Amino acid sequence: MYKFFDREKLKYCYQCGRCSSGCDINRLDATFQPHRLLHLIGIGATDKVLKNDGLWKCTTCFTCSERCPQSVKITEILWFARAIAVQSGHVPELLINQRDVLLRTGRLIPMDNKKREKFGLVAMQEESPVVTQIFKITEGEK
């Protein structure tokens, strides 16, 4: 994992916890603690990091990086860890499902016409013609 970012910068993290104490996600879910993820990365516990659900809870607001007294780029390190998790197949099923719905329909949440009908809203197509057109235009572009 270290080949993707400067491991030396992790040495500056002295586990003060400012990143975790300022994190909005930590306020909602005390199990999410960025400084603990950094510790795991620092000791080389790559498998624990890649399989840790906390890796996907980060909203990338950069508050942790801004609060760090040692200027450790925590958000960027977590991005790299996520990229490695994706490459190694450690992605939560929810995110895979959202990706599939997004690629199929252009929406992050599946359309539920029964709920729409209940609220007096007109039914919508599951697949968006606009998204289909975008995919046609960008076909082959990555």
Supply the DSSP string of 104-117, one letter for each residue.
HHS-SS---HHHHH
* Same structural domain, 28 and 82: yes
Distance of CA 67 to the CA centre of its chain: 20
pTM to 2 decimal places:
0.72
pLDDT at 142: 46
pLDDT at 50: 92
Instruction: Please indicate, yes or no, whether residues 62 and 76 belong to a single structural domain of this protein.
Output: yes
Please report which helix (H) or strand (E) contains residue 35, including its range: helix 34-42
Q: Residue 110's pLDDT is what? A: 79
Cα separation, 57 vs 25, in Å, equals 7
By residue range, what is the domain housing residue 112?
93-138
pLDDT recorded at residue 6: 63
Which candidate, 27, 87, 90, places its Cα nearest to that of 59?
A: 27
Pair (15, 74) in one structural domain = yes
Q: Are residues 43 and 80 in the same domain?
A: yes
Q: Are residues 65 and 127 in the same domain?
A: no
Rounded Cα–Cα distance for residues 108 and 110 (Å): 7
Cα-based angle 90, 94, 97 (whole degrees, multiple of 5): 100
Shared domain check, 60 and 26: yes
Rounded distance between C-alpha atoms, residue 54 and residue 26, angstroms: 10
Going 84 to 86 to 87 to 90, the CA torsion angle's sign is: positive
Tens of pLDDT along the chain (142 residues)? 555 566 677 778 888 999 999 999 999 999 999 999 999 988 889 899 999 989 999 999 999 999 999 999 999 999 999 999 999 999 999 889 888 888 878 888 778 889 999 999 998 877 777 877 887 887 755 4
Q: Give the chain's domain count.
A: 2
Q: Are residues 101 and 118 in the same domain?
A: yes
